[in-house]
Amino acid sequence: MAQIISGKELAARIKQRVSGQVEELKAGGVTPCLAVVLVGDDPASAVYVRGKESDCRECGIGSRMLRLPADTTQAQLLEQLEKLAADKSVHGILVQLPLPAQIDEQAVIAAIPPEKDVDGFSPVNVGRMMIGEECFLPCTPAGCIEMLKSTGVPIAGKQAVVLGRSNIVGKPAAMLLLRENATVTICHSKTEDLAAVCAGADILVAAIGKPKFVTGDMVKPGAVVIDVGINRDENGKLCGDVDFAAAEAKASFITPVPGGVGLMTRAMLLVNTIQAARRQTGR
């Protein structure tokens, strides 16, 4: 039976550390500030934004929430981002995705200055990550690595399989695993004999957005399973990309859904915001 990697416990420890760093910055006259931009009224996005507001408040980070109507044009959004970019009291900028259809997400991401890109999505930060330079790491993949390290199981030399090749999770997760000296395979919809590839993984990261896609026969005995997915099952209950009960019986460690990677994603956003404030103020 696998041990549970608790995102709640790990995130609480990170928040405690961040709170101490916020106090140090405030003692030096700097109040870290995160600006979050929400366009439209997508219910899931609204929930995520409220969670980020709560996290900032808990750790003493200043938060500025900009809520724009669903019919906001790309030019109007870019104008708001320009103002936030120029505002020295704002250290991090996050635009909640997805955006309405009339707005080009890549253009918006590119408009956020790399030094304020606490999501780690800008082409500059992605490029720096690829070549191993200092940068803001994307929050979900960074959280996955923290969860892996918390198990005490070495990453170096292990066979790691990442299910999914999105720019937000799959690709950067693979890159961060490679930086930790794992041997990495990225799987996707065109992968042949997918189940067998997954079954060979010492570390399995599932990030494809399909409820309970990873079945027990796809999990190697003793593997560490990181489930990034947040879905609804046939009964409307929250579940991950992994069939938890089947995988738990075979894995050595596994993340739950809910209570796993999602909480770590939010925690890593706070870490990036503190780093942004330090870099911009020289503290």
Question: Which residues are documented as binding site?
Answer: 164-166, 230
Catalytic residue among 15, 80, 117, 119: 119
- The amino acid that residue 235 corresponds to is N
Catalytic residue, from 15, 21, 80, 96: name it. 96
The alpha carbon of 20 is separated from its chain's Cα centroid by a whole number of angstroms, namely 22
Secondary element (H or E) of residue 150: helix 139-150
Binding site for NADP(+), residues? 164-166, 230
C-alpha distances out from residue 8 to 17, 24, 227, 258, Å: 14, 25, 15, 10
Which residue carries 């930086």 as its tokens? 179
The residue with tokens 């790491």 is 137
164: left (phi over 0), alpha (psi -120 to 50) or beta: left
Question: Which residue is catalytic, options 52, 116, 171, 250?
Answer: 52
| 52 tagged catalytic | yes
Alpha-helical regions (H) of 4-113 = 7-27, 43-59, 74-86, 105-111
Instruction: Assess contact for 70 and 40: CB atoms under 8 A.
Output: yes
Main-chain phi, psi angles of 250, to 5 degrees = -115, -30
Q: How far is C-alpha 139 from the geometric centre of its chain's CA atoms?
A: 3
| Separation CA 261–CA 257 (nearest Å) | 8
In total, the chain counts a number of residues equal to: 283
The CA distances from residue 44 to 28, 47, 94, 269, 280, in Å, are 37, 5, 16, 18, 32
Catalytic residue annotation: 52, 96, 119
